């Protein structure tokens, strides 16, 4: 078909959070998506392409929102896009399992003269629970087309796509919907639009929405004449509604009246055309919820699940990781056997394969980690985890929904920082941004896997869990200290919808794993490759390095004699000593030794110190740098670190520092962009380094003291954790004492700050 005959149109997906909107987007487009930002704002937009017959549909997945009244930058995008979207096609995704609440947004769209195409999603769950709907009657009463869909399986998507391709816009031509705005409201909004020379018929959806909002929101006009006109219009509207409904309504009651009126229209519609099943969960799900969200059992179960995730990441991942290591070792051996010795061979073997290959061997561990996370997310458990963590979030001055971007941080801190847009309070957004880089992202996983696996063997998962626990204590302390020193207003209630438990689909799990591995491999082939080449250059130049003795002549002398196992061992040892001494004289060693005094108190060698620098570009580069720098000791990085003198304690401290020191440059860039503050970004940079240094130094000194007194390493770890916890509690109590807090012992006292009496300074 000639491409000139293909018609292109835009489709805008609008719907509530957790309505299956993104799943439907994936089902429509097959995840053929591209990511960018909406014009003028730093809010991500996702576009996908559908080609059907003579049409090309560009699908825009708008941020999820419960209504058109924006509370966050993402939700504001939905309102700002309405004018453009109304001239194209709007696909309103409705979770029919929560029919009444989801239709609130649909009602708002119809009130503004928009006739969306409705996807009644999660239709299988709805019918399985005994629900049914007369689609013809629904269409006749609302004036809009509705299609039952099951986004997870793609059922109903084909007919929906064909319908989308056959319509040009979604503007209502005949106001026949039972969900339309009552005439007295339209008349009042028309009068408000008339103050600026506009009319209801001519106005676009956004202007209509603003006119309705002026009828119910606090008046912010600076013009006294306009304020008086608005007051008169409001009072006359209240009088008109009172006459129509028989209520005694005042102008200040209009907001509640409009919301009530909308739900009445929705209830009448549902009563006419649908039977909605009870919203109670099946007995087995209620019983499971009573256990998983239990006040006392919930958190231990969550901890056990995370422990299982870490255990399998090591135990199962060990085998494919070994296969990949053997593959890269064989490749290096083959290249060394078939290429002449020189810089090119050294670049390929010691730079590219040792650097990039040293990172790629961790792909199986990444797959296992995110396989479990995908199962937990798709099954509905993560919402329960967010509910459990609400109390912890509140204890550090954060809204419960801050847990959502934080759990995203396990994958990558960049999208996690961007996800803080769901938090409407600016202080809480900034605090969440500050804490997210302390969440261990997948990029740090290679450091933990190689060092835990090398130095802690069968107890690797326990020590990895210990690292995460220390990290969590630091995160809590930083959050509480910040929220106590810089007080903010009270948190709004955390409203979280508990989705039903569902069996994860193979396609959704596969797509998540594919996306994570693709991102990991892409970084290995770009930024990590570039960093490995630079590290290699600094590690092989200058070429002429003064040596303590003539290694070459000794090696030649040994080779001229009889070849025995003893002489072969001597030759290998001389070669190793020569390589180590040469590395000590290269540019990389000079850089490392120059900055080593700063990190020496933590027990790091210059090699570990240097590896932290490229870690600023990408945390995976820490391992690739170590692989290059330790190559003279042994081809196996773990064995090489042991040979060089690293022990269990220094390995633990290095991992701890790596978890908490400054985030990668991409994360830092997003923090700067999302916060809009250079000062905040620089402050965060200093805070991360200071905390990582202080905690690592403290752990090193306490552990050294304990081990020197004959304590075992595990006993020492337990004592360190207890001391850290006790220290956190003392400092927290001190901060509360100097900043003031609400008394727990005098809750009924009239002098309590709860009652806004400033005579009470608070108590402990």
pLDDT(49) > 70: yes
Most confident of 21-25, 316-320, 367-371, 686-690: 686-690
pLDDT(254) > 70: yes
More confident residue, 468 or 733: 468
Burial 392-420 (b: 16+ CB within 10 A, else e): bbbebbbbbbbbbbbbbbbbbbbebbbbb
pLDDT at 149: 95
3-state secondary structure 396-438: CCCCHHHHHHHHHCCCCHHHHHHHHHHCCCHHHHHHHHHHHHH
For a pLDDT cut of 70, what percent of the chain falls above it? 85
More confident residue, 749 or 217: 217
State the pairing for strand pair 55-61/44-52: antiparallel
The structural domains of the chain, ordered by start, are 7-165 (3.40.50.300), 183-275 (no CATH)
Residue recorded with tokens 């309070």: 425
Query: In 10 A of CB 218, how many CB atoms?
Result: 7
- CA gyration radius for the chain? 32
Most confident of 61-75, 407-421, 631-645: 631-645
Mean pLDDT lowest among 29-43, 294-308, 689-703: 29-43
What is the number of helices (H) and of strands (E) in the chain? 34, 9
pLDDT tens digits for 502-523? 788 787 788 778 877 887 788 7
The two structure tokens encoding residue 158: 């084909």
* 508 in Cβ contact with 374 (< 8 Å): yes
pLDDT tens digits for 711-736? 566 666 677 667 767 766 776 676 66
Mean pLDDT lowest among 122-136, 546-560, 698-712: 698-712
pLDDT at 93: 95
pLDDT tens digits for 603-612? 999 989 988 9
pLDDT at 281: 65
In sequence order, what are the residues at sequence separation of 6 or more whose Cβ sits closer than 8 angstroms to the Cβ of residue 674? 42, 417, 418, 420, 421, 429, 433
Pairwise CA distance, residues 8 & 51, whole Å: 9
Burial 468-482 (b: 16+ CB within 10 A, else e): bbbbebbbbbbbbbb
pLDDT tens digits for 406-457? 776 776 787 678 767 667 677 888 888 999 898 888 788 888 888 888 888 7
Pairwise CA distance, residues 600 & 432, whole Å: 32
Q: Which of 353, 420, 414 is nearest to 635 (CA)?
A: 353
pLDDT tens digits for 354-401? 888 878 888 888 888 888 888 887 888 877 887 787 767 777 777 666
**pLDDT tier for residue 667 given thresholds of 50, 70 and 90:** confident
* 144 in Cβ contact with 85 (< 8 Å): no
* 292 in Cβ contact with 352 (< 8 Å): no
**154 burial via Cβ count (<10 Å: 0-12, 13-18, 19+):** middle
Average pLDDT rounded to a whole number, residues 519-534: 80
CA angle 653/658/663 to nearest 5° reads 155
Residue recorded with tokens 């491409």: 3
pLDDT at 754: 36
Average pLDDT rounded to a whole number, residues 330-357: 89
Burial 345-365 (b: 16+ CB within 10 A, else e): ebbbbbbbbbbbbbbbbbbbb
**pLDDT tier for residue 105 given thresholds of 50, 70 and 90:** very high
Most confident of 152-161, 262-271, 298-307, 353-362: 262-271
State pTM to two decimals: 0.64
The two structure tokens encoding residue 28: 């429509």
pLDDT at 74: 67
Most confident of 104-113, 486-495, 570-579, 727-736: 104-113
What 3-state DSSP class applies to 674? helix
What 3-state DSSP class applies to 687? helix
């Amino acid at each position: 078909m000639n491409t000139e005959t293909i018609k292109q149109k835009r489709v805008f997906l609008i719907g509530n959070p957790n309505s299956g909107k993104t799943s439907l987007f994936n089902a429509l487009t097959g995840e053929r998506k591209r990511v960018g930002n909406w014009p003028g704002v730093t809010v991500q937009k996702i576009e996908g392409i559908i080609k059907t017959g003579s049409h090309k549909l560009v699908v825009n997945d708008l941020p999820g929102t419960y209504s058109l009244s924006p509370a966050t930058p993402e939700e504001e995008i939905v309102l700002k896009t309405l004018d453009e979207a109304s001239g194209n096609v709007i696909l309103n995704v409705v979770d029919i399992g929560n029919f009444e609440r989801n239709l609130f947004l649909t009602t708002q769209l119809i009130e503004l003269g928009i006739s969306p195409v409705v996807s009644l999603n999660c239709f299988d769950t709805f019918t399985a629970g005994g629900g049914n709907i007369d689609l013809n009657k629904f269409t006749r009463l609302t004036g809009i087309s509705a299609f039952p869909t099951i986004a997870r399986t793609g059922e109903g998507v084909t007919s929906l796509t064909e319908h989308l391709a056959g319509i040009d816009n979604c503007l209502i031509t005949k106001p026949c919907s039972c969900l339309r705005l009552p005439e007295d409201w339209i008349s009042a909004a028309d009068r408000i639009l008339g103050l600026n020379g506009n009319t209801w018929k001519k106005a676009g959806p956004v202007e209509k929405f603003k006119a309705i909002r002026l009828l119910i929101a606090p008046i912010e006009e600076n013009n006294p004449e306009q304020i008086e006109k608005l007051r008169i219009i409001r009072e006359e509207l209240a009088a008109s509604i009172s006459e129509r409904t028989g209520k005694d309504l005042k102008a200040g009651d209009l907001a509640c009246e409009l919301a009530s009126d909308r739900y009445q229209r929705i209830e009448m519609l549902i009563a006419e055309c649908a039977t909605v099943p009870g919203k109670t969960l099946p007995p087995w799900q209620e019983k499971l919820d009573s256990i998983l969200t239990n006040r006392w059992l919930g958190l231990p179960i969550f901890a056990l699940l995370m422990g299982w995730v870490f255990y399998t990441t090591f135990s199962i991942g060990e085998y494919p990781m070994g296969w990949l290591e053997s593959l890269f070792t064989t490749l290096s051996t083959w290249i060394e056997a078939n290429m002449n010795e020189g810089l090119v061979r050294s670049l390929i073997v010691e730079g590219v394969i040792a650097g990039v290959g040293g990172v790629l061997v961790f792909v199986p561990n990444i797959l296992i980690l995110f396989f479990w996370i995908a199962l937990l997310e798709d099954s509905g458990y993560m919402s329960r985890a967010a509910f459990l963590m609400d109390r912890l979030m509140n204890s550090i001055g954060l809204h419960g929904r801050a847990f959502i971007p934080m759990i995203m941080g396990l994958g990558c801190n960049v999208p996690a920082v961007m996800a803080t847009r769901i938090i409407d309070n600016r202080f809480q957004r900034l605090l969440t941004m500050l804490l997210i880089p302390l969440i261990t992202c997948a990029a740090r996983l290679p450091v933990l896997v190689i060092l835990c696996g090398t130095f802690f063997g069968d107890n690797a998962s326990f020590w990895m869990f210990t690292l995460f626990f220390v990290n969590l204590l630091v995160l809590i302390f930083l959050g509480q200290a910040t929220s106590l020193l810089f007080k903010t207003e009270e948190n709004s209630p955390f409203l979280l919808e508990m989705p039903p438990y569902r069996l994860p689909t193979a396609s959704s799990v596969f797509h998540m794993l594919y996306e994570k591995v693709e991102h990991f491999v892409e970084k290995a082939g770009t930024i990590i490759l570039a960093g490995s080449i630079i590290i290699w250059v600094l590690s092989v130049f200058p070429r002429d390095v003064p040596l303590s003795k003539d290694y070459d002549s000794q090696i030649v002398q040994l080779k001229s004699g009889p070849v025995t196992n003893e002489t072969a061992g001597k030759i290998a040892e001389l070669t190793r000593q020569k390589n180590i001494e040469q590395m000590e004289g290269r540019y990389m060693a000079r850089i490392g030794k120059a900055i080593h005094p700063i990190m020496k108190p933590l027990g790091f060698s210059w090699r570990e110190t240097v590896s932290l620098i490229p870690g600023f570009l990408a945390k995976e580069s820490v391992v690739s740098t170590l692989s290059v720098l330790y190559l003279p000791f042994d081809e196996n990085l773990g064995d090489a670190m042991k040979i060089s003198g690293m022990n269990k304690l220094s390995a633990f401290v290095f991992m701890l520092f790596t978890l908490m020191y400054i985030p990668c440059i991409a994360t830092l860039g997003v923090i700067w962009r999302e916060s809009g503050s250079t000062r905040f970004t620089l402050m965060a940079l200093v805070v991360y380094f200071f905390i990582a240094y202080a905690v690592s130094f403290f752990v090193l000194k306490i552990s050294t003291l304990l081990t020197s007194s004959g304590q075992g390493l595990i006993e020492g770890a337990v004592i360190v954790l207890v001391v850290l916890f006790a220290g956190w509690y003392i400092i927290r109590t001190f901060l509360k004492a100097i900043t003031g807090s609400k008394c727990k012992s005098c809750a009924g006292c009239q002098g309590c700050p709860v009652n806004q009496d400033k005579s009470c300074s608070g108590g402990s």
